[in-house]
Amino acid sequence: MKNSRLTGQKWPLLAAFTAAAALLAACGSSDTTNPANSSDGTPEKPDKLVVRSWGAPFSTGLEETAAKTFTEETGIKVEFDLTDYGEIQAKVRQAVQSNQRPPVDVVYTIGIFAEQAKLEGLSAPLNPAVVTNFDDLTVAGKPQDGGTDYANVYSYTFPVIYDKAQRDLPEDFSWLDIADPDFDRSFVMAATYEVLLFPVAKALGLDVESDDLEPLWETLETFRPAACGAGMDVEFIQLVQSGECDSGAFIVGNAFSLQDAGVDVGWLVPEEGVTYASDSMYVPTGLPENVEHWSQVFINHVIEADNLTNWTNEVGVIPTNSNSQPREDMINDPAFPFTDEEIAEYGIPIPLDTAARLTDEWQERYEASIRR
């Protein structure tokens, strides 16, 4: 999968924009002033919107659902920018700090980065009068502080995925069992901290927002013998498909890919629960007012119940509109908690405010702990 969600690395700031005209041309309008409203009182429509996204099936799913209905209704084309989410965040930050127009009109990113954008003043709050479907979002679909700086468009978890031919996991499996010698050189370590940090902390009875996490890092060091590799979705799939490794904690979409490749895999939510994460959309500040308006209209199309059902069913993630329907094979599966009750029982939500502030520190300590 292009530009994997598990890519936690933050790209260094790129060189300053050398051609402002080229930057503006990549956006929906080259005019940074605010065009007058159209005759019916609605803001003037740009020719297009540019949305930062992952590649297929994420962008292609959007093309077939929300982008399609948005263009049919407004006549505004939607283009997708597949730049890595860390790199686009850096570009947005640089643009805002330089009073330049951001390089994209909608940023589709991981929840931690959306929260960072809010804390840094990079996002324009969504207007409830425009993003009317925001009210229908579940608790998981809204920022944890109750604001409207972004919308969480779907959620997902990182259960333990395993090759049934090589491993059988008991129902009472714990995250701490990864330190068992039986896992020696068999478990693929995710490249980023959020997969293991939160459930292992829960298993140890630690509060990541207030407790000393030294016992956590020491526990992760006991996982080192289990590591047969580390990486992102692509690396995990390759290592399990080749038979070099038999398990790892990743999004279930990777299990679907392995099944398509002929590997009989299962997945399990350990007894402590599983990290519950979201991907988000926000509108960067600094856009012309009309482009900001239509960018918010686009997000409203994304989180519309039917569009979100169709898109998330294709991608294999959990919709956040309470009127949407999870895919049939996800219902009653602990790896896909949808209702508030299921989230409370199986999910370990990421404390986004804390994670946004400490993500670099946590990532550094995580890498040091799992490195063989």
Per-residue pLDDT band for 37 (boundaries 50, 70, 90) equals low
Do 195 and 220 contact (CB within 8 A), yes or no? no
Same domain, 364 and 217: yes
For the entire predicted model, the pTM comes to: 0.84
Percent of the chain topping pLDDT 70: 89
Identify the burial level of 68 via C-beta atoms within 10 angstroms of its C-beta, where 0-12 means exposed, 13-18 middle and 19 or more buried: middle
Asked if the structure places residue 14 within a domain, the reply is no
Confidence (pLDDT) at 223: 98
316 is a domain residue: yes
Question: How does pLDDT run across 50-104, given as a tens digit for each residue?
Answer: 999 999 889 999 999 999 999 999 999 999 999 999 999 999 999 999 999 999 9
Q: Which domain holds residue 181?
A: 157-276+352-370
Q: What average pLDDT does the segment 114-118 reach? A: 96
Higher-pLDDT residue of 321, 25 = 321
CATH number for the domain including 310? 3.40.190.10
Tell me, yes or no, whether 1 lies in a domain. no
For residue 6, tell me if it sits in a domain.
no
Give the CA distances from residue 175 to residues 178, 188, 245, 271, in Å, rounded to whole numbers and listed in that order.
Answer: 6, 14, 17, 8
Structural domain total, the chain: 2
- pLDDT of 8 reads 34
How far, CA to CA in Å, does 286 sit from each of 32, 81, 308? 9, 18, 28
- The answer to whether residues 164 and 259 belong to one domain is yes
Per-residue pLDDT reduced to its tens digit, 165-200: 999 999 999 999 999 999 999 999 999 999 999 999
Q: Is 11 a residue whose pLDDT tops 80?
A: no
Alpha helices for the chain (secondary structure H): 20-25, 58-64, 66-74, 85-97, 111-119, 194-203, 214-221, 233-241, 253-260, 289-302, 305-315, 340-346, 352-370
Residues 137, 264, single domain; the answer is no
The answer on 224 and 175 residing in a single domain is yes
Same domain for 344 and 208, yes or no, is: no
